[in-house]
Structure 1
Amino acid sequence: MSLAASPIRYPDVASRTVMTRRGWWLVVLNFLIPGAPQVLAGNRRLGRFGLGATLVLWVLAVLALLAWLFWRTALFTIASTPWTLWLVALVLAFYAVLWVVLTLDTLRLVRIVKTAPSARGWIAGLTTVVMVLVSGTAAYGAYLATTTGGVISSMFIAGPTEPPDENGRYNILLLGGDSGPDREGMRPDSMSIVSIDADTGAAVTIGLPRDLEYFPFSEGSPLAEVYPEGYGAIDGCEVDVCQLNSVYTEVELKSPEMYPNAVAEGSEPGIEGVRDAAEGITGLDIQYYALIDMQGFEALINALGGVDIDVETRIPIGGDEDNNGVDGWIEPGQQHLNGYHALWYGRARYGVAGGDYERMARQRVLQEAILRQFTPTNVLAKFQEVASAGAETVKTDVPQSMLGYFVGLAMKTKELPMGHVELTPDNGIDPTDPDYEYIRQLVAEAIAPPATEEPAE
């Protein structure tokens, strides 16, 4: 083969101009089409392997883009399966090593000592930057994949999926467990149900006051046999106060044998007791639950970089009902709250007009604010902190196989207004003597699909 036929493979090594121009071409080709420099100027077997791997990566990238545009739920499902994430990690680790090998070989092919002295540093520097950028990105992607797979395996169960209820909705029980340093044990101080349309993502939150009394349990519940007329309605209950937030304590400490399969199914006896109570109160079939530890919640908010809240009322930090011993205040107005202040925004009930009911409303505001700010950008920016805080904060029985589906559904929910049903005196509900038929009516009306106008005849 003549020199003119292949100047890149057989360059004029005596010409610094030719060698410099050739060096820049090889470096750029290595970045744009890894493997091409080897095919043109080096080991063709290595080059063909590199080109094949590059082509496969491009095809996978195009398929991922198409899936993002047209089959997003399927993409989320694949990306949230632990074994798939481990496979992705192995593939990315392979590409990280391959790009290092190809880049170092490209630098050898450049024959940098034959290039112009003024260009040597730039060529070597750009080659190094490209290697670190490309291989480093792949290595970091492998790290994210393995970390995510570990978090999913530890946080979500490998159990069967549940279908939507008869109204085409998923109903998820949200429990805020307060196990702070000033409290003994854990009890659910915050309880609500998020009801989500399985197709549109339209969501309604139903706030459950912790001081509800005499509530029924769902049909078939072991607690319904013990309290056929409602919780504590006949001879009281097994704990001091027979209210909604007492169910967890009673079942967990006094009668966990009522729910022998709870732990094996990713739950706890106390949580299952609260689920049966929430179903009896609202008439909804609750497929899943999520328990959020409020102290870990503080770390999660910090990991996300804080949360923006429009504070309507001055909120005390600490103290009692007379504001004695207050450690500070959250002032009204638009505030960017860190984890500590966000926790007190959702937790404080003393020294605030409305007490528990006003606190319930603030917790809904906080939930929506977190949903809006829980974006891929925020999560990826501080992934390790978010993953660590989430694993320590959230306990749920949502199965791993449903995670991708719910991620896609949550993205729809973020774009829609969220409805609210607060079971409070403002809605005509006396927690000491509730009308549960009226409560179920309120819930049914809130989750009913909007009526469509019939076409005029």
Structure 2
Amino acid sequence: MDNDNKNQKLPTRQELREQREKNQPKKHHLVAWVVGVLATILVIAACYGGYVYHKTKSAIDETYDPTNKVTQDSFNGKESFSILLLGTDTGALGRTDVRGNTDTMIIATVNPKTKTFSMMSIPRDTMAQMIGTQNFSVHKINAAYNIGGAGMALKTTSTLLDVPLKYYVEVNMGGLEKLVDGVGGVDVDVPFTFSYGGYTFKKGKMHLNGKQALAYSRMRYDDPRGDYGRQLRQRQVIMSILQNSMSLNTLKNINEVTDSASKSIRTNLTFNSIMKIAKNYRDCIKNMKSDYLHGRGAMIGDASYQVMSDTELQRTSDIVRKSLGLSPVKLNNNETYQNSKNTDFDWNSSDSNQKYYVYEPNSDDWWNGDKLES
């Protein structure tokens, strides 16, 4: 995979523009339900035998990605680990792109010593160097998957925060409704009243079916917190799926859940590893935490980005590393380098039209942004 990534040909600006125009009328934002899918099939496989076990194994085997094969950890219940959760904008609602971008990126970390399950959301518009391209290149982080697949997404996110990442779970939109309905729906606390996708969500506690959960998690532009508010609602859905997956009602809908999983998930975790996680880390699900990388709006070329201050990058890196039981390290990467060159950028400003410039590595020359993704 490494050699393939290095030889990836970056899309031209025209190609990116054509792709944007093709997708724009059907632009949708994916519910980050990856954790819920994985947890649901794990709980089912761990708790029930016979027919259910074999059906679950068959579904998980179909999700395995051998092209990103890695040496699996022991998952003995003593060591912490992280998984990059990728929600791709393909597979439903008219989207038929071969790859698409990852509209949802979450670093999920399991720590058996503290018995915690932590989620760190990475905004889709985060400026990041693409790790694995032949030439230096900067895009929104959600383009890493489009350019170089899950391998590039893993390396790009790992380098951004200096955290070890080798496992991933990717889910497309196709199986969401069946999954949510399969666990009996989800319970959320709606932060404010809004309408979206033909549904009205009233402030307060609501129980949602699959179609409602998809709409609830997709709305972005009417949220006063923008994408950050959407991420909060996504995490609500994830937590509810996890909690409801342990209900016997899930067993009644085993066919829907496993069918959803086999058609909508790709992962480089083997079935045996997933079974060990289910057996040895199940208690961690009971104590969930969530956070997000918070940036500032800025214009790079003619595209709107989220740029991250050194302080915020360091804070986020420290949290993820601590959740893994690792000591903090001072970040020194392309993002901190670019920040050092943009000395006039006002990090306290709410102006999302501020100019931010990308420089060539170790140079005072601006990077040629002809291929800059927007």
TM-score band, normalised by the shorter chain? Answer: 0.5 to 0.7
Q: Specify the SS of the correspondent of 2:140.
A: coil
Residues 261-281 of structure 1, C-alpha deviations (whole Å, 9 max, x = no match): xxxxxxxxx111111111011
1:352 matched residue in structure 2: 223
Q: Does 1:204 align with 2:118?
A: yes
The structure, 1 or 2, with the larger RCO (C-alpha pairs under 8 Å, 6+ apart) is 2
Q: Of Structure 1 and Structure 2, which has the larger fraction of its residues in helix?
A: 1
**2:86 is matched by which residue type in structure 1?**
L
Output the CA distance in 2 between the equivalents of 1:436 and 1:188.
24
- Map residues 67-146 of structure 1 onto 2, 5 A cutoff: 142-146=50-54
- C-alpha contact 1:307 1:373 (8 A) present in aligned 2: yes
1:408 matched residue in structure 2: 279
Q: 1:295 to 1:436 in 2, by over 3 A?
A: farther
- C-alpha contact 1:175 1:192 (8 A) present in aligned 2: yes
**2:93 is matched by which residue type in structure 1?**
P
1:244 matched residue in structure 2: 141
Q: Does 1:170 align with 2:40?
A: no
Residues 222-273 of structure 1, C-alpha deviations (whole Å, 9 max, x = no match): 23x622xxx42xxxxxxxxx2111222233xxxxxxxxxxxxxxxxxx1111
Q: Specify the SS of the correspondent of 1:173.
A: strand
Output the CA distance in 2 between the equivalents of 1:351 and 1:441.
28
1:343 matched residue in structure 2: 214
1:442 matched residue in structure 2: 316
**1:278 is matched by which residue type in structure 2?**
T
1:181 matched residue in structure 2: 93
2:132 matched residue in structure 1: 222
CA offset at residue 343 of structure 1?
A: 0.9
Output the CA distance in 1 between the equivalents of 2:256 and 2:94.
25
Q: Of Structure 1 and Structure 2, which has the larger fraction of its residues in strand?
A: 2
2:289 matched residue in structure 1: 419
Q: 1:340 to 1:148 in 2, by over 3 A?
A: same
**Runs in 1 of length 4+ with deviation above 6 angstroms?**
none
Output the CA distance in 2 between the equivalents of 1:288 and 1:397.
6
Q: Does 1:291 align with 2:170?
A: yes
1:195 matched residue in structure 2: 109
Residues 92-142 of structure 1, C-alpha deviations (whole Å, 9 max, x = no match): xxxxxxxxxxxxxxxxxxxxxxxxxxxxxxxxxxxxxxxxxxxxxxxxx64
2:253 matched residue in structure 1: 382
CA offset at residue 198 of structure 1?
A: 4.4
Q: Which has the larger radius of gyration?
A: 1
- Scaled by the length of structure 1, the TM-score of the pair is 0.53
Unaligned runs of 5+ in 2: 1-41, 297-303, 326-374
**1:162 is matched by which residue type in structure 2?**
D
Output the CA distance in 2 between the equivalents of 1:199 and 1:408.
15
Output the CA distance in 1 between the equivalents of 2:308 and 2:57.
45
1:121 matched residue in structure 2: none
The percent of aligned pairs where both chains have the same amino acid is 23
2:57 matched residue in structure 1: 149
Unaligned runs of 5+ in 1: 1-75, 86-140, 233-241, 252-269, 319-326, 452-457
1:304 matched residue in structure 2: 183
Output the CA distance in 2 between the equivalents of 1:200 and 1:405.
18
**2:314 is matched by which residue type in structure 1?**
R
**1:152 is matched by which residue type in structure 2?**
I
